[in-house]
Amino acid sequence: MKIRPVEKSDYYKVISVIDDWWGGRQVADMLPKLFFDHFKDTSFVIDEDHDVLAFLIGFISQSNPQEAYIHFVGVHPDYRKEGLAKKLYEEFFKIVKEKNCRMIHCVTSPINQVSIAFHHKMGFSMVEGNDTVQGVPVHKNYDGRGQDRVLFVKEFACDE
């Protein structure tokens, strides 16, 4: 297994399995090909024998160049709990810090308790929302009507 930057051809591998990796939820529309075309220096896959086992799609903000954003992360169900997502996040942290980013943002669904716990473990803090669901701060309609999200932020000190 190795971590490497995404390639354009990885899009077709990922998009063919992503809905299955999410238990049949239709999430493929949230990951257009443009991410694989335009964010190769901040997006990564872990592969083995030409199969993608995990991926992270992230980018640096054009509006705020000291801020980065993790857009989408996925791990093949058979490889969960093996630390692949952690390795991808650590690679992303390293690369964006080298590019002088001091803050990383990401979001998840309020029902995704595994994701919320993972982000806490990775050093992210939840951003105060405009509502609370089961004790979790939520930003109502963040991604459109009925699409509530939990927002996370991770800050780096200048000497990290």
98-141 pLDDT, tens digit per residue, is: 999 999 999 999 988 999 999 999 999 999 999 998 889 999 99
- pTM, full prediction: 0.93
Look at the chain and count its residues.
160
Kindly give the residue spans of alpha helices, DSSP state H, lying in 18-134.
18-21, 34-38, 84-98, 113-121
Whether residues 32 and 48 fall in one domain: yes
Residues 11 and 74 occupy one common structural domain: yes
Measured between alpha carbons, how far is 158 from 112 in angstroms, rounded to an integer? 32
Residues 76 and 138 in one domain: no
27 and 47 part of one domain: yes
Identify whether residues 85 and 156 lie together within a single domain: no
Rounded to the nearest 5°, which phi and psi values hold at 23? 65, 30
Percent of the chain with pLDDT over 90: 81
Q: How far apart are CA 141 and CA 115, in angstroms?
A: 19
Q: Which domain holds residue 24?
A: 1-101
CATH code at 48? Answer: 3.40.630.30
Q: What are 8-42's pLDDT values in tens digits?
A: 999 999 999 999 998 888 889 989 999 999 999 99
Phi, psi of 103 (to 5 degrees): -150, 140
d(CA 75, CA 84): 7
